[in-house]
Amino acid sequence: MLTALGKTGKFTVLGIWFFFTVFPIYWMALTSVKPKREVNDLYYFPNEGATLDSYRVLFKDYAFGVFLRNSLVVSLVASFIVIGLGLLGAYALARYEFSGKRQVMLAFLATQMIPGLISLAPLYLLMQKLGLINSLIGLTLCYVGGMVPFATMMLRGFIQRIPPELDEAALIDGCNRFTALFRVVTPVALPGIAATFIFSFVQCWNELFLAMILIDSEGNKTFPVAMRSFIGGYWIEWGALSAAVMVGIIPTVIIFGLMSKFMISGLSAGIVKG
Amino acid sequence: MTATMYQPSRKRAASTTRMLKALAFLTPAAVMILVFVFYPVLRTVQLGFQNFNLFDQLNIGYNGLQNFRNLINDPNFGTVIKNTFLWVFVSVFFQFTIGFGLALLMKTKFKFIGIYQGLIFIPWALSGFLMGLVWKWIFDESFGVLNDALLKLGIIDSRIPWLSDARWGMAAVIIANVWYGVTFFVIMILAALQGVPKEMLEAAELDGANRFQTLFSVIIPYIRATLILIVLLRIMWITNFPDLIFGMTQGGPAGRTHIISSWLIEKLTLDADWGAASALGLMTMVILFVFTLFYLMATRLEKDSGV
């Protein structure tokens, strides 16, 4: 009896939270398919007038394809570089004992205490010196710099779980440390690498303020920066905006949905940010 | 750590080559961090003590503590600090409590738990700024679904000016932040709960402990260090999370829903006063550092975790 009640209570609570979590996204999806003249009408289920017009407006009138491509390129390239540099660093920290290692690890961890926002102005000035203002390359570099410390620590956690005998065997078979890392350790650490990659991708995809400051030409805007122009004026066109929000969250939702198992173990293993 | 197993005096030459090899692996990452993380911090310290306004570029130069004085004398300063405390502590309180509760409910598997988790963890992967826009639309006074639903349910009889009134505005951004951040706590606490040894739980059950006794005298003490650490990390993170507010209110009306980090963004972009923005960033860092010291002393974290 008590357990039955407990069960009902448990699923009621889980159900309420589910509703609260999903409703805002449902509401945005619903708004995005309402016909233009009905955007302000408060009905709760799509009617027969449901249309993809808002999405058409988004890609035709606002040319959102370009912004999506920019975001995709920057996030993918940055995340690949982050994994490359992170794997090298993580391997050193997981497999070598050397003096000063403790200090190096502390320096990596200390970066997590530094609020990213304080770097905005200095990074602009730095990019200005390098001639990389309004450049997607400059933005990518900054993202790599921001993500590398966390990725290194996260990957180190995964590499440490792999028995060192594995790469020692590879060394005996004629590999050097470098080829051992890429031929032997990397394949085994692949789930961890995937988790780190997704984490990095999501962070880059969602980043707004740095992109906002570094990029000023229409053609180089990333997706969040382009979204900002929607709210710049007094009048907000909620139909197109909700379609844009849906387009902007779909990539991360899909990736996360496919990989949530990895992410949960990965994030909690590799400490905590985001 | 295995540092104790390693004896540096054994062979100096071997240790040097080992160090060089390790350095070769570490250098690329280290260079990126030095250039893109640590150098900007130093530059911020410099900017914080400079008159550095993009609208006044002829007069860039050191101005002592002027930026800090200007900030403290700003009529909005008190509100910003108060809002920051509300934003951080009210959000973290609800995120933690709800997250802990949900994690306990999800500890034992049920049908479709995988799909359920996948769906309720989604907020974690979404852009705070975009979700700020979503919540802005939900909280809209005239056309927002929240006022409409509350009216239809008979809970209110006139529309609440959610985003045009500062008090309701703070409530609104905090509600959105709770929505956004519960996921993090569920993920972390769920992982911690799964680390509690089954034997301990069985032993408690054998001793006749009920669920609440097990929770408070076995589970919570066991994961206490983790809880303390994730709350601290989250407090720091939320302090520096202006994205939601930037999407929802942009700090308005009249700067009354700004927190310290969204104010920093306004100084940086709208006012183009990079000296003030940097000074604000430095203040945030110092406040967080002092808070961390007190927090760690108050919770005596090091005693429990054996760090």
Give percent above pLDDT 90 in chain A. 57
Q: What residues form DSSP beta bridges with B273?
A: B53
- Does B233 sit within 8 Å of A273, measured CB to CB? yes
Which pLDDT value is given to residue A264? 62
Mean pLDDT of A177-204: 90
Mean pLDDT of A106-131: 92
Domain count, chain B: 1
Which pLDDT value is given to residue A232? 67
What tens digit of pLDDT does each residue of B269-278 get?
999 999 999 9
Least confident among A47-61, A258-272, B100-114: A258-272
Which pLDDT value is given to residue A260? 66
Provide the CATH number for the domain around residue B215.
1.10.3720.10
**Chain A interface mutation, best of B4, B11, B23, B26, highest count of A Cβ atoms under 10 Å:** B26
| Nearest residue in chain B measured CA to CA from A90 | B26
pLDDT band at A177 (very low <50, low <70, confident <90, very high): confident
Tell me which residue in A27, A96, A114 faces B18 most closely, judged by beta carbons.
A96
- Does A102 sit within 8 Å of B39, measured CB to CB? no
B225 is a domain residue = yes
| Nearest residue in chain B measured CA to CA from A209 | B265
The token pair at A138 is 């400059």
Tell me which residue in A96, A101, A272 faces B188 most closely, judged by beta carbons.
A272
CA-closest candidate to residue A68, choices A194, A198, A225: A225
Taking the C-alpha atoms of residue B245 and residue B164, their distance in angstroms, rounded to an integer, is 13
B234 is a domain residue = yes
pLDDT band at A77 (very low <50, low <70, confident <90, very high): very high
Contact B103, B121 (CB under 8 A): no
- Does B105 sit within 8 Å of A121, measured CB to CB? no
B269 is a domain residue = yes
B6 is a domain residue = no
Residue B11 has pLDDT above 90, yes or no: no
**End-to-end distance of chain B based on CA atoms, in angstroms?**
11
Taking the C-alpha atoms of residue A122 and residue A141, their distance in angstroms, rounded to an integer, is 14
pLDDT band at A113 (very low <50, low <70, confident <90, very high): confident
What tens digit of pLDDT does each residue of A166-176 get?
888 898 988 88
Residue A26 has pLDDT above 50, yes or no: yes
Give φ, ψ of B15 to 5 degrees.
Answer: -70, -35
Q: Which residue has the higher pLDDT, B90 or B195?
A: B90
Taking the C-alpha atoms of residue A230 and residue B137, their distance in angstroms, rounded to an integer, is 13
- Does A212 sit within 8 Å of B236, measured CB to CB? no
Q: How much is the mean pLDDT over chain B?
A: 90
- Beta-carbon contacts of A179 under 8 Å, excluding residues fewer than 6 positions away, are A170
Domains of chain A: 1-51 (no CATH), 63-269 (1.10.3720.10)
B46 is a domain residue = no
Q: Write out the residue range of the structural domain in which residue B243 sits.
A: 52-305
Which 3 state secondary structure label does DSSP give B53?
strand
- Does B25 sit within 8 Å of A97, measured CB to CB? no
B16 is a domain residue = no
